[in-house]
Copies of this chain bind each other. A is one copy, B any other.
Amino acid sequence: MKLGQLSEAALYASDLGAAERFYHGVLGLEIVSSMEGRGISFRCGATVLLVFDPARTRIPDAGVPTHGAKGGGHIAFMVDNSDLDPWRARLTERGVAIETEVAWPSGGRSLYFRDPAGNVVEFAPPALWR
């Protein structure tokens, strides 16, 4: 009886239109659903990123528990280091500022930037946690 991997992570954004332009338009994630206007789910490999409007998820709704956070959250995507150069170029071209870049002692680099709601997004090397 062992837990499997994370299947969903959630971030919060009051402006879901801006979130869609960022995660779908800039990062290229496929939209799975709009969750009845409460948020947007984006597919990323075997996992799903949920971006919720916290004003909607804090209200009791049909069946699922209430949640909703304020302030910057954090997620990381697995990105091969060989893809960091083109990503850096695309982000810069789209006006997304790279906030910082870290070279890990174990090898590999992470790129950090923010989504429009201020959440910290990281592109991390797949081997970082191995």
Residue numbers of A with Cβ under 8 A of B are 1-10, 12, 27-29, 32, 41, 43-50, 52, 54, 57-58, 63-80, 83, 86-87, 90, 99-100, 102, 112, 114, 119-120, 122-124, 126, 128-129
Contacts of A27 in B (CB 8 A): 3
Beyond A1-B86, A7-B124: 5 further Cβ-contacts under 8 Å? A7-B126, A52-B74, A64-B100, A66-B72, A69-B73
**Interface-central residue, A3, A32, A64, A128, by most chain B CB under 10 Å:** A3
Separation of A69 and B75 alpha carbons in the complex (Å) = 12
Rounded to whole Å, the gap between the CB of A36 and the closest CB of chain B is 13
